[in-house]
Amino acid sequence: SCTQPQKTTPENKVRDEFHNSIQLSSIDSNSKSKVTMKPNTTTSYYCLFFIISLLSIQFQASLGSTKKTDEAYVTLLYGDEFLLGVRVLGKSIRNTRSTKDMVVLVSDGVSDFAKKLLLADGWIVEQISLLANPNRVRPKRFWGVYTKLRIFNMTNYKKVVYLDADTIVVKNIDDLFKCRKFCANLKHSERLNSGVMVVEPSETIFNDMVNKIKTTASYTGGDQGFLNSYFPGFPNAHLFDPNLSPEALKSRPTPEMERLSTLYNADVGLYMLANKWMVDEKELRVIHYTLGPLKPWDWWTSWLLKPVDVWQDVREKLGESLPGTRGGQNPNDYFLVKFLFLLPFCALLFSCYLSFMKNREYFGSFCRGSPFNQFRQLYYKIRSSGPLAYTTISTSANSIHQSFDLDEGDKDNALCKASYTITSTGPGGGYINSSWIAQLLYFMHFQHIKICFFCDMQLSNGSQCKVPTYLGGISVCVCLTAAVVSLGLGLLIVPRQVMPWTGLLLMYEWTFTVFIILFGGYLHLIYRWGKYVASRAASSSLPESLDYDSGKRHQRQISSCDVATWYYGLGMALLAIGAPSLPCLFGITALFLRLGLMVVGGIILASFMTYASEHLAIRSFLKGLDETDNTPNRSLCFLC
């Protein structure tokens, strides 16, 4: 048999020359001689060209910029703020088993990390330049929206479906590629929405649009208003029917424009008005989160809008395309969240440690007593019959009646005079009979005496209540201002694109922390003010009264943290947690009802804060009045 000669091709020629060069350069083991030969110039060029071609193909494949189909889904990315939205959009498209290309047009504002992440997610990344917005009167966020017109110039594709980064696909929408020429959804006021569009790219149309940008009016100041003016007959376009047979499509003339139904562009803004979709929810194809300040990737939006749950479900299923990106996480935010979570607790432990070191003797004496013995003594005292004994209070019927003998104009100082009769005498003191307590309560209720009630504080003989009249009003203003500042700082500190529960917990943690620092610092200043007033009064008093007062103060037991302060603090904390939780507790999903209940809860919280701030400030001032510079502050609570 005879063999047919092989055809001479450049590839065969390169291969033969390569083998010949290897054979000529082989080593003869017997003669130990080496044969060397100069490389052929033509062979070197072919080898270099072959290597460069392989590297080019591999590089393009690694970038994901190779075109696989003639039809593609397209979106725009101006900056990293919308990166998570693009990732979730791509995941939702792939969840519908679509095999079309996914192309993202990125501008110079997108970081290299974002581009690598999108490539790893399966997007084809194309770098573009921005188209300037010629409109002077426009929102700031519309500075680069005219770049969306570049989808009309993607002539390497036969047809593209454009989707905004704040949309999500819930069902397969490959049937949109049947729509011809230009298709979009018609919204209210007979205006098309550019969030979802089907476009047949054309360089001619794109150049015509660019030439008319400066002369065509835009009611929005952006691309959507321009497209409405560029396609003035769009409201009269026929509705796109994806179920038409190919024969029916061929029998009809090709329309220039077609309208998409609401199923392909379900507006969350319209859902918000009626708290339901205008169409069957099971038939929805694309959900569009059109509300400007309520984007689905912001953690607080999930607590306001029910449709955001669909977006969050897709986000949680995002894979780890790059290290630390599972579930839509940002590697930079991961360490920041850990730091923000641990920092307040570390500060709390540090403050407790400092308080413990300052009051080591007090804690030692407190811990030496057995808690069981203390509770047992208290139990026996309660069970014992007869009048209730107070070892730290000495009074008599005559002294109480003497405190009731007040002039009409001296009722404001009643508590100050009564405190003179109720003083500490140590063990062996007198008893308070229930009849005297009843008379005291009767006198306070019917004589309308203004009483400054405070725990573990007693004024010396003949002292007057020196609380400034304007202290309460100033304290209310400071408290409400501290609350607003704490809320604002919490929103600034907590990353926007964390998970909803993570954002909520961090928000509460930092709001409480900042509020305690601000308002607690104010109360400490009030305490120091009262202490300064007391020191000035003590310097001008008689030595006998100072000795007497110091003796009383030595006998007084100072509580580590006053019960009333805990009452006010926990009350504000519980109301702050309960106010935003009211809609969830009542199962309300409507946005306006949710906001209404939150406002009602906020009003209740503000009322309680008004009451609590005034009383806490007065207590701090009186506590300062009751202590001298030599009295140690054994408080464990920052607000005490």
Decide: 213 and 231 in contact? Cβ < 8 Å. no
Residues 110 and 194 reside in one and the same domain: yes
Residues 226 and 247 reside in one and the same domain: yes
**β-bridge mates for residue 192, sequence order:** 186
Residue 589 lies in a domain: yes
DSSP state of 38: P
Residue 637: strand, helix, or coil: coil
Residue 74: strand, helix, or coil: strand
Global pTM value: 0.71
Residue 307: strand, helix, or coil: coil
Residue 246 lies in a domain: yes
Task: Report d(CA 342, CA 349) in Å as an integer.
Answer: 11
Question: How many helices (H) and strands (E) in the chain?
Answer: 20, 13
CATH of the domain at 146: 3.90.550.10
Residue 2 lies in a domain: no
Decide: 307 and 268 in contact? Cβ < 8 Å. yes
Cα 164–169–170 angle (5° rounding)? 155
pLDDT given for residue 416 in this prediction: 40
Q: What is the dihedral angle through the alpha carbons of 178, 183, 187, 190, rounded to the nearest 10 degrees?
A: -130
Residue 558: strand, helix, or coil: coil
**β-bridge mates for residue 525, sequence order:** none
Residue 78 lies in a domain: yes
Tell me which residue has tokens 């969306």.
Answer: 148
Indicate the number of domains in the chain.
4
Decide: 457 and 623 in contact? Cβ < 8 Å. yes
Write out the H or E segment, with its range, that includes residue 34.
Answer: strand 33-34
Contacting residues for 253 by C-beta, under 8 A, at least 6 apart: none
Residue at which a domain ends, from 199, 233, 261: 261
**Please, what sign has the CA dihedral across residues 72, 73, 79, 81?**
negative
pLDDT given for residue 298 in this prediction: 94
pLDDT given for residue 466 in this prediction: 72
Residue at which a domain ends, from 222, 237, 261: 261
Task: Report d(CA 146, CA 105) in Å as an integer.
Answer: 13
The closest alpha carbon to 567, from 606, 604, 611, belongs to: 611
What are the start-end ranges of the H helices in 395-499? 397-404, 414-421, 434-446, 471-493
Residues 426 and 517 reside in one and the same domain: no
Residues 107 and 251 reside in one and the same domain: yes
Contacting residues for 72 by C-beta, under 8 A, at least 6 apart: 100, 101, 102, 103, 124, 154, 157, 160, 161
Contacting residues for 63 by C-beta, under 8 A, at least 6 apart: 119, 125
Residues 152 and 205 reside in one and the same domain: yes
Residues 484 and 408 reside in one and the same domain: no
φ, ψ at 560 (rounded to 5°) = -70, -35
Residues 534 and 617 reside in one and the same domain: yes
Radius of gyration from C-alpha coordinates of the chain: 40
The closest alpha carbon to 524, from 576, 574, 565, belongs to: 565
Residues 117 and 155 reside in one and the same domain: yes
Mean pLDDT by 10 residues, the chain (640 residues): 44 49 43 43 61 52 63 94 96 95 93 95 93 67 78 94 96 93 86 93 92 83 86 90 81 86 90 84 93 89 91 95 91 90 90 76 55 58 47 38 43 42 39 45 42 39 62 94 95 94 94 94 92 80 46 42 81 90 83 87 93 93 74 49
Residues 549 and 531 reside in one and the same domain: yes
Residue 292 lies in a domain: no
Residue 561 lies in a domain: yes
pLDDT given for residue 585 in this prediction: 82
Domain span including residue 47:
10-59
Task: Report d(CA 15, CA 198) in Å as an integer.
Answer: 49
Residues 149 and 28 reside in one and the same domain: no
The closest alpha carbon to 302, from 585, 84, 584, 96, belongs to: 584
Residues 399 and 491 reside in one and the same domain: no
Read off the amino acid at residue 119: L
Read off the amino acid at residue 554: H
pLDDT given for residue 133 in this prediction: 73
Residue 378: strand, helix, or coil: helix
pLDDT given for residue 51 in this prediction: 67
- Packing angle of the helix pair 223-230, 203-212 (nearest 10 deg): 110
Task: Report d(CA 79, CA 111) in Å as an integer.
Answer: 8
Residue 599 lies in a domain: yes
Residue 309 lies in a domain: no
Residues 54 and 78 reside in one and the same domain: no
Task: Report d(CA 449, CA 592) in Å as an integer.
Answer: 46
pLDDT given for residue 135 in this prediction: 65
